[in-house]
Structures are given as C-alpha cells and as structure tokens.
Amino acid sequence: MKHSFFAIDLGATSGRTILGTFSSKGLELQEINRFPNHLIEAGGHFYWDIYELYRHILEGLKLVSRMEDVQITSIGIDTWGVDFVCVGKDGGLLRQPYSYRDPHTNGAPESFFARVPRNRVYGWTGIQVMNFNSLFQLDTLRRNADSALAAADKILFMPDALSYLLTGKMVTEYTIASTAQLINAHTRKLEPALLSEVGLTEEHFGRFVYPGEKIGALSEEVQKLTGLGAIPVIAVAGHDTASAVAAVPALDRNFAYLSSGTWSLMGVETDAPVITAETESCNFTNEGGVSGTIRLLKNICGMWLLERCRAEWGETSYSDLIAEAEECEPFRCLINPDDPLFANPDSMEQAIKSYSVTHRQPQPETRGEIVRCIFESLALRYRQVLDNLRSLSPRPVDVLHVIGGGSRNELLNQFTANAIGIPVVSGPSEATAIGNVMIQAISAGEATDVDSMRRQINSSIPLKTFQPKDVEAWDAAYLLFKQITNI
C-alpha cells in the first residue's frame, strides 16, 4: 500500500489536485484532475465560484478513493492570496467571495490612509500596498455597508474556507493571512489596531495555525461523498507562493527566487522582517514563509499579460507564440508590466499597443512582436526588482531560481539571465504542489526539515541552468526600459 499525500493547488486561472508519493526514485507526482477557475461577472462585480472549486476537489478525492494500493496520509490546500469568504453565525457561506480583480477597491488605500498613516500600516505589517489587499477589501465593504460583511461571524481566507468545507473546522493559516495586510510582521499575529479600523476583532477569525499543524479530519459528509475515511487535513503553507518557495531546490541560502505564473513573485528568504524606509519606498512586502522565515518579495505582473492575449488569439499554443517571438526584432517596444493599464483591460493586445503609442514607440503589429515585448519587458522588470533586492538582502544573491509553470518558458528564462547577469536555474514547474506535499510529509514525520527537503528536490527533479548572454545589449535595453517606463 502506497502512502501518499493529496495536494490541492488552486491558482487564479486554474486548479488541480495532485497525489504525491515517496518511492525509491524520490518524490513522484500524479495529477488527479485539473479544472478551470473562472471569474464570474455579475451586477458590476467579479466573484470566485467557491462551490465549483469545492466540487472539483471532491471529484479529485473520489477519483483517488477508487485507486488501488493508494492510501492518503493527509490533505493540504494552497491558493492565491488576499481573497476571503464571509461565514454567518449558522456556519453558512454568506456570498460568493469577491475577486481581487474587482474594481470596487480602486482608490481604497488612499481612503484608508486618510485615517491611518501609510507608514504606520507598513511599519506594522511590512506588506506592499496594493489596492486589493484584504485590509482594503474589508474597509471598502464596510464603507459600502456590505450586507455579507455586516452579518459575518467569521472571515476565512480562501484555503481556510475550502478546508472548512472539507472538515467543518475554521482556522486562519499564517502564510495566507500574511498577504492580507492584517498581520503584524513582528508578532506574526493579527494586528488588533488594524482589525479595529475595519470593525473586526480576532474572534472574527478562525484558530490561528502555522504550516504543518492539523486543521481537522474530513467530515462525515465528505467521507460519505468521496468514499474516504477520516483523513487529516493539514495546514500547509496556504499561500501558493509560500508553498512554492518551500520547494526552491537551493543548496544554500544565497539565492533569489522567481515564482512564475499568472503573477511573478520575486524575492529572497530572510529570518526576520525587513521593514525600512527603503523597503517601503520600493513597496516590498514581508510575507510569512515556512519554518519561521519571511519572504521579502515584490509582486510583478506575470503570465497574466500573455494569458489574456492568448484568450483573444484563440488559445494559440505557447510553443507557436514563443517561436514567433524568437523571429522578431529585439527591443522594438517595451512596457511597464505593472502599469494599471494592464490590470484587467477589455483587450490586452490593444492595451499593449496603446501603451507603446503613448510612450512614443513603434506599435507591435504581430503576435510575435507582442509576445517578445511582453517577455523582454518582464525580464527587464525582473532586473530592476532584483537590483533592489540585492541592496536589501542580508545575504548575497548568486543565482535566481525560477519555479512554477513559467519555469518551462525557456525563452523568458534566457532573457531573464541576460537581463540580470547571473545564472537562472529553472524548475521545478510543479513547485507549489511539491511544497504542499513536503509540508504534509514533514507533518507526518516522513521528512525532517525544509533544508533537507530542498536538497532532495535538487537531486531528484530535472533542472536547467541558463547562463547570461548578450549582456551589453541587455544593459543598453535596461537603460531604455527605465527611461520609457519611468519606474
């Protein structure tokens, strides 16, 4: 009988369930089911369909229950950050959760900082200011007299809400809560002063837990629906980036990481929060990691740009688009990937063209030119953020580890190495699921600690290293990028 770990990994555009099993070959992953995660637009708002996600999770559990010679040791859930569900006194979910891409928080930070100074909020939390942080979502709902928030007995972040549906137990997991801008980075607990500002108390949140702690077991209802027993559900690093960073295959700590997916998250690992005037000015964030670490990082718009373009182009394959991009003229036009213009436009292709014209550059005409513009701009933005990280990190940065789905993009990896001037190591592409499984394994006593876990991943997962090329041309392009984007 194989002892396996069931990882539920939900991103902002898709989700999947994965079975992780340790064998003589190392860690083996088997995808059980994969499914889309669509935004629902209704009444001028954007929502997530949490019940549809739950249904897909149950389907994955049902499939596993029918597999011979497989015994699930535990279950873990990770998702994107900041979004949450309101739960009523009777335990029912009060409304489908808003998506962080909903426009209702436009201008929300400024409204909040009119009451509480920005530097005080950053001094407590060390979290970068983004209009969709949970703090600003909650403040917006309160100012709008939102009925779900007014009736809420509990606030559950997305992975915690799904674990509640599976177990009936309500928790607040540290890494996902740290994205909310409600956690004091020094105490690593909810900050009472910020809760008070949005009309909440600690009682509005579930039991506070850290990665590796048990949430509960599958409820009798879920056992009956899936055919499984009372399997434990473990609080892994509930924020998908925290799970992914746990799986960085580094042999020492002199590295930076780039979790590459819908978002690109670039950072370094520290033992304590780094909250200074410089980190505040650069809008760097101090999110919770595993084993007491802090993830000092910056959110950068990632494959969202290309995903939205592909949706307009009939879902053309990545390989075709990359081949077209390779044939195009380098540095024809560059964009700031984090410009608000690209947050959620009706047409991403048109938004990129408009940006180019507005910034006095040739307009990209073909798909290949648009893709090359996206990749080159991302690589140059990575350099800019890495330059800042180097000055903030307590350790040197000798290598950049690219993890997540974007690690398979060899053209972007090579562009990134060219731009930053140090080696780029790509893989594992399934870092989030691996980190999820490994935290479960540590909890079960089948792995010892994160460092040994990383060494095992390094030795058992195929990795590829990209060395910098054409450095002079990329140095010149970087100066042009900074001039065009003014960031």
CB contact at 8 A, 211 and 160: no
Do 93 and 206 reside in the same domain of the chain? yes
Domain boundary among 189, 216, 239: 239
346 tagged catalytic:
no
**Does residue 437 lie within any of the structural domains?**
no
Residues sharing a CB contact under 8 Å with residue 10, sequence separation 6 or more, in sequence order:
37, 53, 77, 78, 79, 80, 158, 159, 162, 240
- In terms of domains, do 289 and 415 share one? yes
Closest CA to 382 of 240, 263, 273: 263
Give the total number of structural domains in the chain: 2
∠ CA 346-38-17, rounded to 5°? 145
Give the tens place of pLDDT for each residue, 292-340: 999 999 989 999 999 999 999 997 899 999 999 999 999 999 999 999 9
* Shared-domain flag, residues 44 and 155: yes
The CATH number given to whatever domain includes residue 51 is 3.30.420.40
Domain holding 487, by residue range, is 248-427+448-487
* Domain termination residue (choose one: 208, 239, 270): 239
- What's residue 447's pLDDT? 85
- In this structure, the answer to whether residues 56 and 172 fall within a common structural domain is yes
Question: DSSP readout, 348-367?
Answer: HHHHHHHHHHHTT-PPP-SH
Instruction: Tell me the one-letter amino acid at 183.
Output: I
Question: Do 201 and 266 fall into the same domain?
Answer: no
Query: DSSP labels for 209-224?
Result: E-TTEEEEE--HHHHH
Is residue 435 included in any domain, yes or no?
no
Average pLDDT for residues 71-96, to the nearest whole number? 97
Q: Are residues 148 and 255 in the same domain?
A: no
Would you say residue 190 lies in a domain?
A: yes
Same domain membership, residue 144 and residue 112: yes
Residue 83 in contact with residue 100, Cβ under 8 Å?
yes
Residues 274 and 145 in one domain: no
pLDDT-based confidence at residue 344 (cuts at 50, 70, 90)? confident
Residues 194 and 141 in one domain: yes
Phi–psi pair at 395, nearest 5 degrees: -130, 160
- Three-state secondary structure call for residue 249: coil
- pLDDT band at residue 487, thresholds of 50, 70 and 90? confident
From the list 77, 80, 187, the residue with the least C-alpha distance to 134 is 80
- Supply the pLDDT for residue 270: 96
| Cα radius of gyration rounded to whole Å, the chain | 22
- Asked which of 206, 239, 272 is the last residue of a domain, the reply is 239
- Does a structural domain hold residue 485? yes
- Cis peptide leading into residue 428 (ω within 30°): yes
DSSP E strand stretches across 24-83: 26-36, 39-42, 45-48, 70-78
Catalytic residue among 240, 252, 387, 470: 240
The rounded distance, in Å, linking the Cα atoms of 445 and 441 is 6
Note the pLDDT tens digit of each residue in 154-181: 999 999 999 999 999 999 999 999 999 9
